[in-house]
Chain A
Amino acid sequence: MNLVLVGVNHKTAAVDLREKLVSLFPEPQAVYRRFLEAPEVQEAVYYLTCNRVEVLVATESPEPAVSCCQAWFAAHPEVPPERLRESLYVRRDREAVRHLFRVAASLDALVVGEPQILGQVKEAYRQAARCRATGPILNRLLHKTFSVAKRVRRETGIGDHAVSVSYAAVMLGRKIFGDLAGKTALLVGAGEMAELAVEHLKGQGVARLIVANRTLERAVTLARRFGGEAVSLEELEAQLLAPDIIISSTGAGDYLLTAEQVRAAMRRRKHRPLFLIDIAVPRDLDPRINDLDNVFLYNIDDLKEVVEQNRERRRAEAARAEGLVAEETAKFIDWLQTLAVYPTIISLREKAGRICEAELKKTWPHLGPLTPEQEQSLKILTQSVTQKLLHDPIIFLKRNHRRKRPHQELDLVRRLFNLDPDRQDEPGRQG
């Protein structure tokens, strides 16, 4: 069994080409039906994300399968063939497995380490399975893919380092508070980044959310949306007692909080640590606040700096992840090769079973009347003789599939036991 992967991604094709190719896969049911109609395609799965369009096929005859996939991509009337030829890549067997693993582990992504891609591949696989387009090979390969992606995430730091500003803020909070569960956050003003940060904070278990805004009505609206409490901006100083994390994004022009105000509040807070995030430009919070003990102030540039450093780190971790992927690819290919020996093992067992039956049938008349127990033990006797005899050849097949010339050995065994009696190059010629 061979694997073939054909597709384009963000590195080989511009977005306009990718869009056109996506339109070639309108509706999963119909697409898979057409794929499986082709005699050379045994199993298929395709996945479309904003950065890639790829088809993976398990086939007995790889070359026609590749042509079939290429023809599929070439079907779009607006895509010139030479442009497609430049963009389309074909990966076979080992390379196809490695490619899929790298995609799912987010090593082949635009932002290395972003986790969304795994979910997209999972969803694509679910669709393919629903359309009965996957079989033993792709089922196993896709499940393996998911576990490899998890392993990469667990054993390398590829996803540890936040590469978005809002998530970076949350990770910093965890280095200060350890656990964000049960903490209180105060949101001053609103904006896209602040809202994202609130989402992340809620995801980390932040228990209470206070929203402050210049007008109380707006604060109430926002608070309702996030499930928090509303206060007006005038109360800000009085509100400094409760929160552990303050995200400020009004950009009002002058400082909402000065170092003196925060210093006074810290005394009343009994010096409970305070983490302030100022994502407003111009800044909302007096930069001298950062000089106070147990107070940590980060502005938008600080957070961007964190993100840049984290990108660097991810690149370093990606190298380790590549090693893991290579290791898992080798394992899967090994498994794929053992598959080749199973039809032979099955034929061997079937042949042995047929011989047993035939010989027993010949023997029954000579034995006279037998009790059912005697019949049974005679059957068992013949079966165990053949099983014992076949044991070693089968072990030989299973153990030797990784040799350099597996096909020759397989061929030898098949000829030795005459498993293909109709073959033209009959042993009679050789001996």
Chain B
Amino acid sequence: MSGLFLYPALLACLAAGALWLGFLLAQREWLCRAGVWVMGLSLVLLTLELAAVLFRAGRLPGANLGEALLLFAWALVAAFLFFYWRYPIKVLGALAAPLAAVAVSGSLILPSQTGTASPLLESFWLSIHIVLAVLGNAALTLAGLGSILYLIQERQLKGKRFGFFYHRLPSLEQLDALNYRCLTLGFPLLTGGIISGSLYAQYTLGRLWSWDPKEVLTLAAWLVYAVLLHERLAVGWRGRRAALLTLSGLVLLVVTFIGAHLWAAGYHSFSSFAQP
């Protein structure tokens, strides 16, 4: 039963990725429009899959890395479509759609839950924590992808090499604005995720903060983004430096997301969620 909608969702993500890569190569407007529709379809399918898990298990998916990837893919696609609607940067799809496809295939490949999940995961507040954190991660991932595009385009303009990307990527101003917007959305979400998690920890474990590896790494990433946001607003940092900081924050987030799974020690580790 598990993964009824996962394969169609994977296909939709792959198709959207192919359409956008086609758009990047051939610069045909219809490819881009089709990419948006297929991406929308994959959002519907991922939502159905989430609903199926919710219905079957009575809790949000997130008990193992596979489920967390599913949640992340959903958030990434949703965030992408949101930003595309407000601030369309077409070529971003060529990075976001394949990444969503990787996340969905990760969730297909990784072993699904053995045994029942800890009853802690059924809490409403924990769901809030997970949803905020994942949405924040998705928005900040988009900021990172936008930063990659920025760095490519900046390199072309600085180096005076006007190759393949120069003509296909949008202007530096637009890419920098994307970075800023994703940051101003992603940072509060991440902050909310950390706060709601701490409050929940206080409520269940009796302490706000446990210095668990996932917490420490997330805090480090949070600090990077906080510095970036502050400097952007106060001193006007932007461009290359902002892009590099965004990317280093993203690296920390990725290490947190994947690495915390491998570090069995912390209570955030997925393995600790399963009960024998």
- By a beta-carbon cutoff of 8 Å, the part of chain A in contact with chain B is 157, 160, 172, 174-179, 269-273, 290, 293-294, 296, 298, 302, 305-306, 309
Contacts and interface: CB of A to CB of B under 8 A. Distances in A.
Given A175-B153, A176-B157, A302-B160, A271 B237 contact: yes
7 interchain residue pairs of minimum CB distance? A270-B236, A178-B171, A178-B173, A294-B239, A271-B236, A302-B160, A178-B174
B59 interface: no
B83 interface: no
A267 B90 CA distance: 32
Given A270-B236, A294-B238, A305 B160 contact: yes
B167 to A, nearest CB: 8
A293 B160 CA distance: 15
B242 to A, nearest CB: 9
Interface residues of B, number: 19
A225 B171 CA distance: 31
Contacts of B236: 269-272
B86 interface: no
Contacts of B158: 290, 296
Given A175-B166, A176-B157, A302-B160, A294 B173 contact: no
Contacts of A172: 157
A179 B171 CA distance: 9
B172 interface: yes
A349 to B, nearest CB: 44
B235 interface: yes
A157 B238 CA distance: 31
B172 A175 contact: yes
A208 to B, nearest CB: 18
Contact of B235 (A176, A270, A293, A296): A270
A230 B188 CA distance: 46
B162 A176 contact: no
A105 B203 CA distance: 73
B217 to A, nearest CB: 28
Contacts of B172: 175-178, 273
B157 A296 contact: yes
A317 to B, nearest CB: 11
Interface string B222-265: 00000000000001111111000000000000000000000000
Contacts of B213: none
Nearest to A269: B236
A269 B174 CA distance: 19
A188 B256 CA distance: 52
Nearest to B235: A270
B241 A293 contact: yes
B266 interface: no
B22 interface: no
Contacts of A272: 236
A175 B172 CA distance: 6
Contacts of B166: 175
Nearest to A173: B171
Contact of B171 (A176, A293, A306): A176
B192 interface: no
Contacts of B162: 306, 309
B106 interface: no
